[in-house]
Structure 1
């Protein structure tokens, strides 16, 4: 059984990584841009927010600067691809590697603690709710705002042009769409969301670490693919919502697996669990199709 603290902790983590899933969705699904920058922009957002908060900045302003930093990192990756004609995957790897050193420069050390410093979660100390309930509520509000804004953007003229760029860039250019600019904007927006997730994660956990971004892209992909396997993606709103549900369910399954004594899994098995979940998420839609074909054939 999972305790209440572990359950709501998984919900909180799932909501945070839902923001990562939104970013991965934009890069991988909308733009068809394999972007590994998120492994660097996640700790970048955490590093910027934590460092500025320690320096006395308002936590919301520090979070905004973390979003801007992630946005700049994504823009750099796309610029390397669009302007310098570096393959998109390689461009993202180059930026990710560079961000490791940049994050160390920003923090001045491998990690920064936020113990005793004011964060966006500090006002919740006055709420008549335990922290493991109040923190997910605040993060839910942030995720809801991002979800609404993202859906509105993707259904706007610019968003439709961006989606057209990802589906068929040649046809988009033939219709007068500046595909290069939209690619830079899309990848920048994706990493801005990941930077926001990193900033919130650092404030939630009370620390920012240079290695906290390792495997972030895998978690994001697991959320996107898992959500698509569970929910319908007929509309852009459902598609984006599916990413959020995938992130929350992923963290719940992880919590269940690690807290179930009869399974015998430990914290070091986290990557193994992730690999299994991603594999199941990829195979599940194909299994559904084969099962439906067999049923039709039997009829």
Structure 2
């Protein structure tokens, strides 16, 4: 690496390390990284479902950013979130809408709501989905709508940093549970086994481009499952190689895997 490229590397890495990771706002990446949006338009679908709902739950809401952007929200609104910094952000952001934000672990045994409490349950990129619990808290005829992270998402970046096939097989999931990285067919099978009727499934691979190493560093600090345990010190050599590639050849390209699933409680 030339001295000029090395100096720029240190500057960009420091910048990527300094950006706060709280919340689920990706506006900092503007001009530095891009990600294609799914063709189905989750935000528009969410707005349509929320407009018709009486009581809704947003599971794993992050900082509440997606929910707060919905134009018309139902009179009864709740959200869950596991990461303590995000809980506070979500409570402040969703307070004007009268939402209840509950702090709970993503893979907790039960959702802290009564049976049949909601006619709509939603989630954008859930880490864990307890399909039996989704069915339990939905009213008969109620809807689950979510955009999930599919298997192999951003695999190109994971394998560049960690080598090919870096993850051991996951432990068996508890009954009626899927985790981020499930396949659409697997999610449908588990949802149906929990007693839901799946009415729509769509999937898409989305092109991502990282235009500088600061964007890579911030992404890996924010989307922590891409390279579990990531720190700049532990991966400095790989980051330097990737920085050199981007400086010489242009953006690093990866692909995010997403699938939309809509299901109803009979």
For this structure pair, what is the TM-score category when the shorter chain's length is used for normalisation? under 0.3
TM-score (norm 1): 0.22
Work out which structure has the larger RCO, using CA pairs closer than 8 Å and 6 or more positions apart in sequence.
1
- Structure richer in strand, relative to its length: 2
